[in-house]
Amino acid sequence: MNSAPTASPKPAFSLCVYCGSRPGNSPAFAALARETGSWIGRHNGQLVYGGGRNGLMGILADAALAAGARVIGVIPKALVEKEWAHTGCTELHIVDNMHERKRIMAELADAFVALPGGIGTLEEFFEVWTWRQLGYHDKPVGLLNVDGFYDSLLTFLQSAVSTGFMNEWQMGLIHTGSDAQALMKELVQAAGTAAASARLDQI
């Protein structure tokens, strides 16, 4: 585990962010990752993420660190061996497999949000959403839909409701929005972290 000094030993909240290890082909995606990391840092938060230095993951972590956030990365050793790990994290946890990675990330988070990404991002988002509906945790889950990235997914999910494979209660378990700052504020307040909620009420 890599450790480094941090500006705040007691973060007001801990937000787990899932996002792509690629940057995508729209500047809006990188801008969103940068805005997300910066917001977490400016509000005395802690970022929990997959520990990578590539794509949106690296942009997110760098922005959070630059804004003074604690950044905890959790990455399987196979990806460390491929030199994909962000060694500048406040804490970098190297684990044996993806199952352990996701378990630790979930335990460290007060809330979860998915930014644009590929199958890894989608798998992590759907798993934590599934855990929420089964009662394995009661932490809020968000989907940040910038530049229409998740429009088709949300349409498909509504079709699953209309065809009887899901219901509106399940859809109601996820917070969605295109405004990063508004959605993150909503998630942190829904998580009920007292210090963060009191501070965010002033914004």
199 within a domain of the structure (yes/no):
no
As a whole number, the mean pLDDT across the chain is 91
The reply to whether 158 falls in a domain is yes
What would the DSSP string read from start to end of the chain? -EE---S-SS-SEEEEEE--SS--S-HHHHHHHHHHHHHHHHTTEEEEE--B-SHHHHHHHHHHHHTT-EEEEEEEHHHHHTT-B-TTSSEEEEESSHHHHHHHHHHH-SEEEE-S--HHHHHHHHHHHHHHHHTS----EEEE-GGGTTHHHHHHHHHHHHTTSS-HHHHTTEEEES-HHHHHHHHHHHHT-HHHHHHHTT-
**HSE-CB of 188 using CA atoms within 13 angstroms:** 28
Q: 120-178, pLDDT tens digit by residue?
A: 999 999 999 999 999 999 999 999 999 999 999 999 999 999 999 999 999 999 999 99
What is the number of domains present in the chain?
Answer: 1
Q: Residue 31 is part of a domain; what is its CATH number?
A: 3.40.50.450
Q: Model-level pTM?
A: 0.90
Task: Find out whether 109 and 142 touch, Cβ atoms under 8 Å.
Answer: no
pLDDT digits (tens, 9 = 90+) for 188-202: 999 986 444 444 554
Domain that holds residue 144: 2-193
Residue 177 placed within a domain: yes
Beta bridge pairs of residue 18: 114
User: Phi and psi (nearest 5°) for 111?
Assistant: -160, 165
| 202 in a structural domain | no
User: Is residue 11 one of the residues assigned to a domain?
Assistant: yes
Q: Which amino acid type is present at position 182? A: A
